[in-house]
Amino acid sequence: MKLRSTETFWPLKNAMLHSYPSINSDIDTDILIIGGGITGALIAYKLITEGKKVVLVDRRDICNGSTAASTALLQYEIDVALHKLIELRGLDCALDSYRNGKKAIFDLRAIIDTIKSDCQFEFKKSIYFTSLKKDIPFLKKEFDTRRQHGFDVTWLSRFNLKEMGLNAIAAIESKTAAIMDPYKLAIDLLYYCHQNGMQIFDRTNITSIQNQKEKCIAHTENKFSITANHIIHCSGYESTETLTEKVVDLKSTYVIASENLPYLPAAFKNAIFWNTSNPYLYFRATADNRIIIGGGDEDFKDANKRDKLLPKKERYLLKQFHRKFPLINFKMDYSWAGTFGETQDGLPYFGKPDPRKNEHYVLGFGGNGITFSVLGMNSILDSINSKKNQDLEYYRFGR
């Protein structure tokens, strides 16, 4: 017997820490942010701390887009290996992207400390491993490249990995990585901004934008308008609805989470893991002793097709986990699927696609979406003030 449909009000209400009204009048502001996920929250934090007048809207309840699905491994290692990124984008862009990703993890920690968010941020090591002999030359080249450029990496042998309980043949260990609860951080950031003067409207869908001289006028589905000097699109994968340039290949990805373990296996106390497979698998623990596994990506974005595959992907991820960590008793408690996207060079897109309009984008696509959003936070003021900025150059549209 199906006693009710999936989501009723009471469980949601009790899980929702803060909720905001939908828009009910026309508004004027300096800056409008479209999107209340982790990106919109970080950008809002930056602008509010700079004393700007900001309004933020989201078509859903806040933080219920990709941020709610994210597994939130924070790594400076980008989906494209450093030695490959050097070939694709040149030495300066590749090294800066890796170095700034590392700095972003510490920047994020500083913000969390400032707003006193209990988002369970923890520093970890990152283990990039392979179980395939054929991937050893690739991994060795990556290790040598990172070493040569001063990254804090160690080579781990099959023996070292076996001691951790990981069935693999080699790995690069990086000293800097972290994990957190991305939903809690985004909720806390938005609440902080709201307390400091930002207006937030959820369930407020922007359906069109008009550009008039220096002003942008955003129209909502319920026929109100928000007039702003600048609009910042932090609309995640749904930004593909408004962009004319194709910047990302959208696909589907899958995650499972275990029941709480009586104690966290030693390997997961200190480290997160990902591998060289394509698509790659990744593993992390949570503060309440669960293990989360992600991967099994498929090259399509159709949501019905994606969700139908979930049972099959649960079995796949479970099997992969038991192969890699045969000594850990993983019992699945939760599973979910999400839309995900990667850019050609694994890097984000920041700035104005059309220099004549005051519409800016901060699009942290890929497995480093969150650290990319921190980088976006650091360049948004220069985008607004039309000032030169190296990241706006590296991550520009039309590159």
Ligand X SMILES: Cc1cc2nc3c(=O)[nH]c(=O)nc-3n(C[C@H](O)[C@H](O)[C@H](O)COP(=O)(O)OP(=O)(O)OC[C@H]3O[C@@H](n4cnc5c(N)ncnc54)[C@H](O)[C@@H]3O)c2cc1C
64 or 379: whose CB is closer to ligand X?
A: 64
The span from the first CA to the last CA of the chain, in angstroms, equals 55
Give the helix/strand (H/E) hosting 292: strand 291-298
Give the helix/strand (H/E) hosting 375: helix 369-384
Query: Of the candidates 235, 276, 383, 389, which one interacts with ligand X according to CB under 6 A?
Result: 235
Number of H helices, E strands in the chain: 12, 17
Which of the stretches 70-78, 102-110, 263-271, 378-386 binds ligand X when contact is defined by CB under 6 A?
70-78
Contact 40, 234 (CB under 8 A): yes
State the residue for tokens 């890097």: 347
Which of the stretches 21-29, 303-311, 365-373, 390-398 binds ligand X when contact is defined by CB under 6 A?
365-373
Which of the stretches 8-16, 65-73, 110-118, 138-146 binds ligand X when contact is defined by CB under 6 A?
65-73
Distances, alpha carbon 137 to alpha carbons 91, 134, 158, 276, in Å: 21, 7, 15, 11
From the list 7, 46, 53, the residue with the least C-alpha distance to 28 is 53
- SS3 at position 344: coil
Contact 355, 399 (CB under 8 A): no
Considering the rule CB under 6 A, would residue 295 count as an interface residue with ligand X?
no
Non-local (6+) Cβ contacts of 386 within 8 A are none
The DSSP bridge pattern shows strands 122-130 and 153-157 to be unpaired
Q: How far is the CB of 37 from ligand X (least distance, A)?
A: 2
158 or 238: whose CB is closer to ligand X?
A: 238
| C-alpha span between 378 and 386 (Å, rounded) | 14
164 or 179: whose CB is closer to ligand X?
A: 179
Angle, CA of 363, 77 and 323, to the nearest 5°: 110
Site string for ligand X, 114-153 (x = CB under 6 A): ----------------------------------------
Query: Of the candidates 104, 279, 367, 380, which one interacts with ligand X according to CB under 6 A?
Result: 367
151 or 183: whose CB is closer to ligand X?
A: 183
177 or 267: whose CB is closer to ligand X?
A: 177
141 or 369: whose CB is closer to ligand X?
A: 369
92 or 334: whose CB is closer to ligand X?
A: 334
Considering the rule CB under 6 A, would residue 177 count as an interface residue with ligand X?
no
Query: Of the candidates 32, 45, 47, 67, which one interacts with ligand X according to CB under 6 A?
Result: 67
- Return phi, psi of residue 3, to 5°: -70, -25
158 or 251: whose CB is closer to ligand X?
A: 251
Residues 15-44 that bind ligand X (CB under 6 A): 34-40
Considering the rule CB under 6 A, would residue 342 count as an interface residue with ligand X?
no
Q: How far is the CB of 162 from ligand X (least distance, A)?
A: 26
**Which residue's beta carbon is nearest to the bound ligand X?**
369
Beta bridge partners of 55: 32, 199
37 or 351: whose CB is closer to ligand X?
A: 37
The DSSP bridge pattern shows strands 215-220 and 199-201 to be unpaired
Q: How far is the CB of 136 from ligand X (least distance, A)?
A: 25
* Dihedral over Cα of 228, 233, 238, 240: its sign: positive
- Residue 307 identity (one-letter amino acid): D
Q: How far is the CB of 227 from ligand X (least distance, A)?
A: 16
22 or 160: whose CB is closer to ligand X?
A: 22
Distances, alpha carbon 101 to alpha carbons 98, 178, 210, 368, in Å: 5, 12, 35, 8
Considering the rule CB under 6 A, would residue 66 count as an interface residue with ligand X?
yes
Query: Of the candidates 29, 253, 275, 358, which one interacts with ligand X according to CB under 6 A?
Result: 253
Query: Of the candidates 31, 32, 55, 57, which one interacts with ligand X according to CB under 6 A?
Result: 57
* Dihedral over Cα of 54, 60, 62, 68: its sign: negative
Q: How far is the CB of 137 from ligand X (least distance, A)?
A: 27
Beta bridge partners of 208: 219
- Return phi, psi of residue 289, to 5°: 60, 35
Query: Of the candidates 268, 340, 349, 394, which one interacts with ligand X according to CB under 6 A?
Result: 340
Q: How many residues bind ligand X (CB under 6 A)?
A: 37
Interface contacts to ligand X, rule CB under 6 A: 34-40, 57-60, 64-67, 69-73, 205-206, 234-236, 238, 253, 255, 294, 338, 340, 364, 367-371
